[in-house]
Amino acid sequence: MKINYPNPSIKTTKTNSIRTYGMLFENVLNETNEYYKNKDIAYIYKKPTPIQVVKVDYPARNKAKITEAYYRTPSTTDYNGIYKGKYIDYEAKETTETSFSFTHIFPHQIDHLINVKRHGAISFVIIYFKKYNEVIIIDIDDFYKLYDDGVNHDGRKSIQFEKAKEIGRIVPKGYTPLLDYLKTVDEMYF
């Protein structure tokens, strides 16, 4: 089963929006993680985007200017760190649609999340459903059940918002920090 876009021309726009809003959701997470760090609650960082550098110029001493480079596929996930003595690892995603499509996450990222969970990590996917203005955390094992059914069998290729609420947990909105997702992590894992 596949959700069709109401208008084919929206497809391009959609990609752009996800990228743009993705940055905003990312900023919310980054600010929240900064808050946690300053309060000595948790040390969680976004990994830099991997970039393949091809050419570097040195217009001045000690000043390297990269003049040719390309984005690479990330080996792992967006965020990891330590919380309450445990390794925490998650991938942050955003969708403007009524469902989150599995095409927006790499299979090796899912493998990574499953592997670290098996080794004792707190491991999940956190999705911002822009249309509903809700952020939902789904533990990787629960996420994988649907993913496997959709990708490796004949199931749905996406997670609908309603389904996400059912298998995951909504992160309540806040002010300080902006998105107190570790409170939700406490409920889910501690």
CB of 129 to its own copies, least distance (A): 26
Beta strands in 40-115 (DSSP E): 42-46, 51-60, 63-71, 79-83, 86-95, 99-101
- What token pair was written down for 164? 């996400």
Using the minimum distance from each CB to its own copies, give the nearer residue, 21 or 87.
87
Using the minimum distance from each CB to its own copies, give the nearer residue, 73 or 133.
73
CB of 93 to its own copies, least distance (A): 19
Distance from C-alpha of 31 to C-alpha of 177, rounded to nearest angstrom: 8
- What are the phi and psi torsion angles at 178 (to 5°)? -60, -40
Using the minimum distance from each CB to its own copies, give the nearer residue, 1 or 48.
48
CB of 119 to its own copies, least distance (A): 5
**What residues line the site for its own copies (CB under 8 A)?**
37, 40, 42-43, 45, 47-51, 53, 64-72, 74-76, 80-87, 89, 112, 115-116, 119-121
Distance from C-alpha of 124 to C-alpha of 138, rounded to nearest angstrom: 6
CB of 71 to its own copies, least distance (A): 6
Using the minimum distance from each CB to its own copies, give the nearer residue, 119 or 153.
119
Alpha carbon dihedral 45, 166, 151, 19, in 10-degree steps, equals -40
